[in-house]
Chains A and B, each alone.
Chain A
């Protein structure tokens, strides 16, 4: 039995290991932080959120300041998928963000059917426009592109 945990992680309840959902590679004990099974890279935020204003003219440029904010990128060591990112001040410990009770998880799933593909939940409600102006507010999904 395998339990989906995130877009990229699942727990194999038999082996008690985290696994990569892209390459099926084993990552590490489900009783520890999954991050121990991943590779980490300290990214200068200006490489992702590039300065849009000229840094020679301005201190604030739409880029996070590298002395205040770093991006920790976590990769699958087998396939290089970026499974998680964490924005932190320099030197801040990475967060133990998922700490599940594996014994309770086994008990919970003993009567459930395995889920291979996660269900897509309903879109959160919102007020519909009172005036029709025929555009999609940019909510692209693969289905949109097929129309083009």
Chain B
């Protein structure tokens, strides 16, 4: 068909009308891939370009950063002291300042670093979609709330309050406060439901929306939110706390603007971001060119055991660094252990800033020069429709995954920015709980024991015991008494280091502690746990150091420990998991061990649930451990004699702990010779050991030898997929499998013994 130029011009006009119409009438403003897949800094604004092109005064920038840090610290302390959520009390929070474009420039120094790498996404969404929408708009005194990680964030337990900062009528910055609130109305209490089989089981999924006008929380929306969660008091109190901390932060920022003027402060925050980027590129350039790799194997979806591989290859060339996660496990369509790529990057940034370059400012610019590559529809780059309520599983792996390959890249450097450190224990080893408290309140949340992960060993020292959560070096493990004041949980054994559960090495990982919990004065209470690592060690050692052991959940059901203690106070020698499980001192109890993924389960008064915080990875060859340190661990009851002798090959007197140095050297030398005798050459070993695919009996997800071929399941049968065409795996209900197994068993008995069975 012939068309004239005039026809085409009309067509262009019509197209513009059509495009405008479509832009104004989008059916649903879901998470925007243009925002969510971009972790880099926005281009300079016109103002930033004008200010920075004139040059900034470095001393003044430093001074302004110090004042902003002080303001952020103050607002952090407000939330920390006043927040109602257990997460707030023990440091799982942040306050932050963003540029006008929404880039996160600075966070409170004690804040959770991961938030620095993800809190900016919802602000960019607000800027893009609500700023000019006549039904929403952005003006002074507004506050926006958000929790759905699909729009940015670590996971859906975290709620943010975000405010624009206007100065003399002009929007200059954004401010925010975020807390791990816990309860969010999901299908299980506490906000992290491993039982979620779809995103609609996850409870509140707040896209960013306006909940504050004229610095006041809108009561109608607040009521809706309170009506959607199990703990309306928590919802109210922490929204107010975050709002007022943000208002205080705004006051301080305005004072800084009054003192230095708009240009100085805008220039300081933008140059702060750009300086970090420049420094990261310089540090990458220092590294040797090449590739280092690591694999991590997770062993549970929290509903069933299966191996999920996370694979990372870091390639450096010049000042470019690419982190390639292709070959990792496919996503699960009905399991909660998926994460979106933006949340995954937040955890990567955490690991980078905690373990590799901890001296860098905590800002998104630390990760922004690094390219992240992943397979779409993998467990770490899951489609938005996948459940993600227990994204902590891949996220915690991401917090430590840099440790090994980055140490292999940077060990050669003449200057170090951090200790060489093995992986910190990387599981959420805490009780998540829910039910009716002794005060008659409905609640759901988690214990602060999540903050007690053992530290990895270092090149010159052991790891510290139960030092912090894997996601935040600045969070504390909390006080059990406060938990017992608020909830009916009674801790029978607490903060007792888990003897013999050690990441062995020349230097050992810091140990985790045992948690032995029950419930009292509530007839509706339950627990859940969400960790993997009961069959496959979760936390890896470094340079010949061993990994963590496996950790399982232990239970004693069908008893009331309080009656036992009242009637026979001396029956139980000690609250020690190994003793309780092996000696079984309470008659009539049902003793059992389980995967660490337990969906919500009712706990009757006096029944006992037991888990451990874990050890960090070990560093170096166990035969190089100073015998005096071995003796110190024995003396401190961290390790028994059999383990000391068998693992570390130390000869000593068990009574005095005096080491026979000569005999120890001889024993260790003999053991080195034994290693040489039993070891096979690499080529011979690989020829005998390596199989072309995973063992048929092992449920396995991810690549094996070729990252382009991904193993998964369809209809419970193993399939192979091309990495660029990954489909999620739909898992059968474990209860259906159990029923089928029992029915088959029954049929076998019927055949053997007849219908009478």
Contact = CB atoms under 8 A, between A and B. Distances in A.
Contact of A91 (B578, B624, B629, B695): B695
Contacts of A14: none
A69 B536 contact: yes
Contact of B582 (A50, A54, A120): A54
Nearest to B705: A93
A4 B411 contact: yes
A48 B502 CA distance: 10
B416 A119 contact: yes
Given A53-B593, A63-B550, A148 B632 contact: yes
B549 A140 contact: no
A60 B694 contact: no
A62 B404 CA distance: 24
B2 interface: no
B549 to A, nearest CB: 4
A59 B467 contact: no
Contacts of A81: 544, 621, 623-624, 672
B551 A62 contact: yes
B593 A77 contact: no
Contacts of B591: 57-58
A32 to B, nearest CB: 10
Given A64-B537, A87-B536, A140-B632, A48 B546 contact: yes
Given A67-B697, A127-B474, A37 B543 contact: no
Given A5-B412, A36-B683, A68-B536, A140 B690 contact: no
A65 B699 CA distance: 14
B127 interface: no
Contact of A100 (B289, B619, B678): B289
A115 B412 contact: yes
B416 A80 contact: no
Contacts of A100: 288-291
Contacts of A12: none
A142 B628 contact: yes
A97 B291 CA distance: 8
B679 A68 contact: no
Contacts of B288: 3, 100-101, 104-105, 108
B462 interface: yes
A119 B411 CA distance: 9
A39 B681 contact: yes
Nearest to A90: B695
Contacts of B534: 60
A89 to B, nearest CB: 6
B412 A3 contact: yes
Interface centre among B411, B591, B704 (most CB of A within 10 A): B411
Nearest to A99: B291
Interface in B455-480: 455, 458-468, 473-476
Contact of A7 (B462, B619, B623, B672): B619
B505 to A, nearest CB: 9
A85 B541 contact: yes
B294 interface: yes
Contacts of A89: 297, 307, 536, 694-695, 698, 700
A123 B578 CA distance: 33
Contacts of A105: 288-290
Interface stretch (B186-194, B210-218, B225-233, B351-359): B351-359
**Size category, A interface:** 35 or more
A62 B288 CA distance: 39
Contacts of A58: 581, 591-593
Interface centre among A49, A63, A65, A125 (most CB of B within 10 A): A49
A128 B744 CA distance: 58
What does DSSP make chain A's interface, helix, strand, loop or mixed? loop
Interface string B740-752: 0000000000000
Interface in A101-121: 101, 104-105, 108, 112-113, 115, 118-121
Contact of B414 (A52, A77, A113): A113
Interface string B7-34: 0000000000000000000000000000
A138 interface: yes
B420 A118 contact: yes
Contacts of A137: 464-467, 510
B408 A97 contact: yes
Interface in B403-460: 404-405, 407-408, 411-412, 414-421, 455, 458-460
Interface in B283-322: 288-295, 297, 299, 305, 307, 317
A36 B687 CA distance: 12
Contacts of A94: 682, 686, 690
A101 B290 contact: yes
Contacts of A33: 682
Contacts, number: 314
A138 B636 contact: yes
A124 B355 contact: yes
Contacts of A71: 546
A73 interface: yes
A3 B683 CA distance: 26
B689 to A, nearest CB: 6
A93 B628 CA distance: 37
Contacts of B462: 138-141
B95 interface: no
B622 interface: yes
Contact of B419 (A67, A97, A122): A122
Contacts of A83: 543-544, 621
A48 B618 CA distance: 12
A87 B578 contact: no
A104 B291 CA distance: 12
Contacts of B54: none
A98 B506 CA distance: 22
A6 interface: yes
B691 interface: yes
Contacts of B473: 124-127
Contact of A52 (B405, B578, B629, B690): B578
A84 B414 contact: no
B414 A122 contact: no
A146 B516 CA distance: 35
Contact of A85 (B476, B545, B705): B545
Nearest to B473: A126
Nearest to B685: A40
B638 A5 contact: no
Interface in B365-418: 404-405, 407-408, 411-412, 414-418
B543 A112 contact: no
Interface in B46-105: 91
Interface in A7-62: 7-8, 33, 35-42, 45, 48-50, 52-54, 57-62
B735 interface: no
A59 to B, nearest CB: 7
Given A61-B593, A73-B679, A126-B473, 11 more contacts: A53-B581, A62-B501, A81-B623, A87-B547, A88-B297, A99-B293, A100-B289, A120-B416, A124-B418, A125-B358, A138-B636
8 pairs of A and B residues whose beta carbons are closest in the complex: A39-B679, A80-B672, A121-B416, A91-B691, A100-B290, A49-B549, A60-B552, A141-B461
Interface of B: 91, 110, 288-295, 297, 299, 305, 307, 317, 354-355, 358-359, 404-405, 407-408, 411-412, 414-421, 455, 458-468, 473-476, 497, 500-501, 504, 506-507, 510-511, 534-537, 540-541, 543-547, 549-552, 554, 578, 581-582, 591-595, 619-624, 626, 628-629, 632-633, 636, 638, 642-643, 646-647, 671-676, 678-683, 685-686, 689-691, 694-695, 697-698, 700, 704-705
Interface of A: 3-8, 33, 35-42, 45, 48-50, 52-54, 57-65, 67-69, 71, 73-75, 77, 79-85, 87-101, 104-105, 108, 112-113, 115, 118-127, 130, 137-142, 144-145, 148
21 contacts: A7-B619, A8-B621, A40-B689, A41-B679, A49-B537, A53-B554, A53-B582, A54-B581, A58-B591, A60-B535, A61-B593, A64-B549, A68-B698, A89-B694, A89-B698, A90-B691, A97-B405, A100-B291, A104-B290, A124-B354, A125-B474
